[in-house]
Structure formats: structure tokens, C-alpha cells
Structure 1
Amino acid sequence: MAEQLEILNSEVHRNLAMHPIAGAHPHMVQISLPEVEAAASCCPVMLAKSPETGRFAIVALFGFSPDEVLVEGAGTGNAAFLPLDLQRQGFFASDENIAVDLAHPRFAPGGTIPLFDAMGGPTDEMRLVQRAIGTLMGNAARTERFIADIVEARLVEPVDISLKFDDGQTVALNGLYTVSGDALADLDDTRIIRLFRDGSLAAALAIRASLRQIGQLARRRNERLAMPASGWA
């Protein structure tokens, strides 16, 4: 469906309502640098290359395949971590304004969350959208700089993990990257201090530590295999 972008206006869109999140939760979502530590507390955080540009992006992994979401509560929008990119679904920055894509499923008939209150001011839910867009835009350059720094420092290494599940299926995590613990340990003090001072070290360590979340997702997948489909959450 083609986009129908309009600059958001409290008069024109006074009666516009939205759904909390439209469609299925993606199994992989691009995130910004300030989201890394929160994401790492409940799911693996990796780096992935864009097939179009070959550039790295930071991604949060919610499942092992496009039709699978394994993080507790993510399927209903109640996970401990909700990416900003999902919070702003259907909304975009347009210079100093916010544009809304009226063709997006988030604005399909039946939406129950108003964008504006009776006085024409943004509702609390709309303020969350505004905050999400502001955070994403305000940290885009910082996120790119972090990625450039860890690539330049040779901290990025491919993930080499193969998982075998109770149904006999084997899943390999291809095309994903993490931060090398060995490379971090080999950094000289000057570079470590610089990474620490600009906040990159904490994010790099969180990405590395989040590898343990892969085991949690694998355990949840095996639990689902033993459950009837109606019991999935």
C-alpha cells in the first residue's frame, strides 16, 4: 500500500485514532544507541549489515526467523523493552514537523487511541510518539559514530552460533555480528578511556553481554514446541 504522508495537524487530524502497534511484531528491529542497554536486558543485541548499503546497524533480536517472536510479552506489545522504531510506527519526522502515514495499518478503522485531546493538545500516547521520534532523530549521528568507532577499533566480529531444537531443526545465526571480547581486552588504555568517556564502552559491553539472551530465546522456543499453539504468548 502506497504511503499517504500528511503533516500532522491538530485541526485536520482532530478525530484521528491509532492502534497500539499494527501488525505482527518484527523478529528483528533496528535500534539506536540509547536503547542498547535496555534492549540487552531482555534480548540479544547484534549488528547487521544493510543489504542495500553494506553499512552496519544495531538491531534487537526478538526471534530467530521472520515469523517468530520469542521475547516474553513482545507479541502483545508488553515486553520489558519496546523499540522506539515501533513506538513511532506510522509517524515520521519531516523537517521540524511530524508527518503521519494515513495508509499505515496503525490508522486502520477501529483504532481506540486518540492523537489529540478535546483542547487540541497531544494525548499522553501521542507524546510518547513525539518523544520516540525526537530520540531517534537526536541520536542518529551518535549511533552512526558509535558504529564507526567500534568498526575502526576492529571490535566487530561475526556471530558463529548454531542452535539445535527439540523438533530437530537447526538454526544458524547468519549475517549477524557482535563485539569481540578478546578485541576489547586488547585495546590500549587510551582508546578504552576514550570509548568510556563518550559512552561507547558501556554500549559495546552490553552488546557483548547480550549474547547470553540467545540461550533464553532458545529455551523459550523449545518450551513453545511442547505447547499447543493456543498457549503461545
Structure 2
Amino acid sequence: MANHALVNPVAHKDIKIITDRSAKYGDNLWYALTFPREFRSAQAHYPIFFNKDPNTGKFVAVALFGFKDKENLFLDDDGWHASYIPASVQRHPFLIANQTVTEDGVEHKKRMLTLDMDSPRVSHVEGEPLFLPFGGNSDFLDKTASMMEALHLGAIDGQKFTQTLADLDLLEPFTLDVTLNNGSQHQMIGFYTINEDKLDALDIEQLQALKDAKYLQAIYMAIASQSNIRSLIDKKNALVAAQA
């Protein structure tokens, strides 16, 4: 269970964060949350699909790394082999928490950076320091805070994006059947993709609204990203062959 604490220069002055990519640090993910603001970078490597929460019915965009639980085909003993890693993965072991603060006698919510002290990435020996030896934030901490703010805003925008797709009935479930070189067959279900026929059928006003919201470009990037399925299958074939 996570043990989150507000990041502060007194309690965490000697804390370092291990940034290496490895399964032992929780990077053996087969998909992770992504959002339109990072689609341009994510779609260069990963197929982008959509996942539906069975409890709320809401959709989120996800970048796919493998075909089954705990399978990240971009990850090996030498690290994560892609020039971009989604912010939802990079953020570990940090989270944003809302804390009630009083300023000028007025209470309001303020976003604060928290750290999971039980994460294997937290160290006193190796990694990137949070604070400078004689006080002040390290560049790593400042960059992390900026990334976390971008992730927070991106997640909000991402929810609006997927809700817009749902309202326009553009999302449809799909099944991916994969036959590997060794003859083994795999089926991936539970994800959604954009229905291109319904997208093509939108009227001028609907398309303009998507363009004005900067969602039209994101839609086409998500569609284009599906070409990465082929390279993902190639990675899977290479892994299976190496293990044979």
C-alpha cells in the first residue's frame, strides 16, 4: 500500500529518486494512461486505444506496451527502449494531492507534490536528489513538479476529450487477434478504438467543434498510432524466439 508524504526540504533533504527503468521498479506495465497533449510523442512508438471504466462508464486513452498483464515489450534488462515514456509512467513515485491551505484568511485547495515513501525508487544512496546540498530544489524536483502539473492538466483535458468522443458515438469495442511466428494465437479484448466511418460521417459543425477544441488532430494521431501494432507484434515474436 502506498505511503504518501508531502515533499518537503526537511524530511526529504537526503532523499534520492532512482530513475532507471526496470520491472523491479514497476515498469512491467502492458498499458498506461495517456492524453491528447502527449499523443504526438506517444504515437511515435505506441498504439493508442481507449479503456472503459466498468463502474463509471467513462473512457480514458491508453498507450499499449504489450499484449498481456505485466508484459512491456519495450522493457528489457537494459532499460526502456523508446524515446518517449508516457508521463503517467514517468511520474512514479510522485502524486499530486489537494491540500486545504489558508492564505490571507481564505481557505482554498492547493495542489501539492507527494512522494510514495514505500516505492522501491526512493533511496538514500543512489538516484536524483530532490534538494540541493545547501538548500533549494534540485533541477530534477523542479522538472518533476512541472511534469506533474502538466499531467494533472492533461488528465483533465483527456477526460473532456474522451467524453466528447463518447458523446459523438465515435468509440467502438474491438478485438485484436494475433498469430505469432511460432503459430501461437493470442486475443486481446476490452479496448475501444475510433470508428472511422462514424468520424467521416460527422457534419461540418461537429468537425469544426473538434478542430476548435484541438481534438481533431488528436483523433487522427490515435488512428495513425494503430500502425504500431505491427512493430509490437514484431517485438513479441523476437521475445518468443529468444526464449525458445
After TM superposition, the score normalised by the length of structure 1 is 0.89
Counterparts of 1:213 and 1:54, CA distance in 2: 27
Correspondence 1:93 to 2:96: yes
Contact kept? 2:43, 2:221, Cα under 8 Å: yes
- Which amino acid is 1:15 matched to? D
Alignment of 1:150-161 (within 5 A): 150-161=165-176
Paired residue for 1:63? 66
SS at match of 1:57: strand
Paired residue for 2:218? 203
Paired residue for 1:18? 17
| Structure with higher strand content | 2
CA-CA distance at 1:204 after TM superposition: 0.8
Paired residue for 1:147? 162
Paired residues, number = 228
Counterparts of 2:146 and 2:76, CA distance in 1: 22
CA-CA distance at 1:73 after TM superposition: 7.4
Structure 1 stretch 116-125 or stretch 13-22: which is displaced more?
Answer: 116-125
After TM superposition, the score normalised by the length of structure 2 is 0.86
Paired residue for 1:41? 44
Q: Deviations over 1:105-126 (max 9, x none)?
A: 2115643221111232222222
Counterparts of 1:123 and 1:78, CA distance in 2: 26
Change in Cα spacing, 1:35 to 1:106, as seen in structure 2 (3 Å) is same
Alignment of 1:124-139 (within 5 A): 124-139=139-154
Q: Deviations over 1:12-59 (max 9, x none)?
A: 211001111523331110112211221111110000112443321110
CA-CA distance at 1:74 after TM superposition: 10
Give ranges in structure 1 of 5+ residues lacking alignment. none
Counterparts of 1:78 and 1:131, CA distance in 2: 24
Counterparts of 1:81 and 1:24, CA distance in 2: 14
Paired residue for 1:30? 33
SS at match of 1:226: helix
- Which amino acid is 2:85 matched to? L
Structure 1 stretch 153-162 or stretch 48-57: which is displaced more?
Answer: 48-57
Contact kept? 1:25, 1:75, Cα under 8 Å: no
Identity over the aligned pairs, expressed in percent?
Answer: 25
SS at match of 2:220: helix
Paired residue for 2:7? 8
Counterparts of 1:75 and 1:60, CA distance in 2: 21
Structure 1 stretch 178-187 or stretch 92-101: which is displaced more?
Answer: 92-101
Counterparts of 2:196 and 2:26, CA distance in 1: 37
Counterparts of 1:74 and 1:154, CA distance in 2: 42
Paired residue for 1:187? 202
Contact kept? 1:195, 1:201, Cα under 8 Å: yes
